[in-house]
Structure 1
Amino acid sequence: MRNTAKITAAVLAAGTLTLGLTACGPDGDSASSDTDGPLVVAASPTPHADILNFVKQHLAKKAGLDLEVKEFTDYITPNTATEAGDVDANYFQNQPYLDDFNKKRGTHIVPVVTVHLEPLGLYSHKVKKADALKSGAIVAVPNDTVNEARALKLLADNGLITLKDGVGTEATVQDIAKNPKNLTFKEVEAAQTPRSLDDVDAAVVNGNYAISSGLNPAEHALVLESAKNNPYGNFLAVKKGNEKDPRVKKLAELLTSPEVKKFIEDKYQGSVIASF
Structure 2
Amino acid sequence: MKHFKKILLTGALGVLTLALAGCGGGDKKAEKAKPDTSKPVIVGVNPGPHAIIMENVKKIAEKKGLKIEIKEFSDFVTPNAALAAGEIWANSYQHEPFLKATMKKEPTFKLAKAFNTALFPINIYSKKLKPGDKIPDGAKIGIPNDPTNGGRTLLLLAANNLIKVKNPKDITTTVMDITENPHKFEIVELEAAAIPRSLDDLTCAAINTTYALNAGLNPAKDPIVKETADSLYVNIVAVQEKDLKDPRLKVFQEAYQSKENADFIKTKFPGSVYLGWKE
* TM class, shorter-length: 0.7 to 0.9
Identity of aligned residues (%): 41
**3-state SS in 1 of match to 2:117:** strand
Q: What is aligned with 2:206?
A: 204
**3-state SS in 2 of match to 1:41:** strand
**3-state SS in 2 of match to 1:132:** coil
Relative distance call for 1:162 and 1:112 in structure 2 (3 A) is: same
- Give the TM-score, by structure 2 length: 0.82
My pick for the range that moved more, 64-73 or 160-169, is 160-169
2:156 corresponds, among 135, 154, 157, to 154
Corresponding letter in the other structure for 1:172? T
Instruction: Give yes or no for contact 2:128–2:203 (8 Å, CA) kept in 1.
Output: yes
Quote the offset at 1:245 in angstroms: 2.0
Instruction: Give yes or no for contact 2:155–2:168 (8 Å, CA) kept in 1.
Output: no
The separation in 2 between residues aligned to 1:167 and 1:173, in whole angstroms, is 15
Q: What is aligned with 2:175?
A: 173
The separation in 2 between residues aligned to 1:211 and 1:238, in whole angstroms, is 26
**3-state SS in 1 of match to 2:43:** strand
**3-state SS in 2 of match to 1:55:** helix
Q: Does 1:111 align with 2:107?
A: no
Q: What is aligned with 1:15?
A: none
Unaligned runs of at least 5 residues, structure 1: 1-32
Instruction: Give yes or no for contact 2:140–2:185 (8 Å, CA) kept in 1.
Output: yes
Q: Does 1:267 align with 2:250?
A: no
Corresponding letter in the other structure for 2:60? L
Relative distance call for 1:35 and 1:237 in structure 2 (3 A) is: farther
Q: Does 1:39 align with 2:51?
A: no
Q: What is aligned with 1:234?
A: 235
Q: What is aligned with 2:90?
A: 89
Alignment RMSD? 1.7
Instruction: Give yes or no for contact 1:142–1:148 (8 Å, CA) kept in 2.
Output: yes
Instruction: Give yes or no for contact 1:119–1:225 (8 Å, CA) kept in 2.
Output: yes
The separation in 1 between residues aligned to 2:60 and 2:156, in whole angstroms, is 36
Corresponding letter in the other structure for 1:186? V
Q: Count residues in correspondence.
A: 242
**3-state SS in 1 of match to 2:220:** helix
Q: What is aligned with 2:218?
A: 216
Instruction: Give yes or no for contact 1:243–1:249 (8 Å, CA) kept in 2.
Output: no
Q: What is aligned with 1:66?
A: 67
**3-state SS in 2 of match to 1:127:** coil
The separation in 1 between residues aligned to 2:168 and 2:152, in whole angstroms, is 14
The separation in 2 between residues aligned to 1:35 and 1:185, in whole angstroms, is 50
Instruction: Give yes or no for contact 2:84–2:110 (8 Å, CA) kept in 1.
Output: yes
**3-state SS in 1 of match to 2:136:** coil
The separation in 2 between residues aligned to 1:203 and 1:35, in whole angstroms, is 46
Instruction: Give yes or no for contact 2:142–2:189 (8 Å, CA) kept in 1.
Output: yes
- Give the TM-score, by structure 1 length: 0.83
2:137 corresponds, among 124, 135, 138, to 135
1:183 corresponds, among 180, 185, 188, to 185
Superposition pairs for residues 3-22 of structure 1, below 5 Å? none
Quote the offset at 1:156 in angstroms: 0.9
The separation in 1 between residues aligned to 2:182 and 2:213, in whole angstroms, is 31
Instruction: Give yes or no for contact 1:114–1:236 (8 Å, CA) kept in 2.
Output: yes
Quote the offset at 1:251 in angstroms: 1.1
Quote the offset at 1:129 in angstroms: 4.5
Instruction: Give yes or no for contact 2:144–2:191 (8 Å, CA) kept in 1.
Output: yes
- Point out the structure with max Rg over C-alpha: 2
Q: What is aligned with 2:123?
A: 121
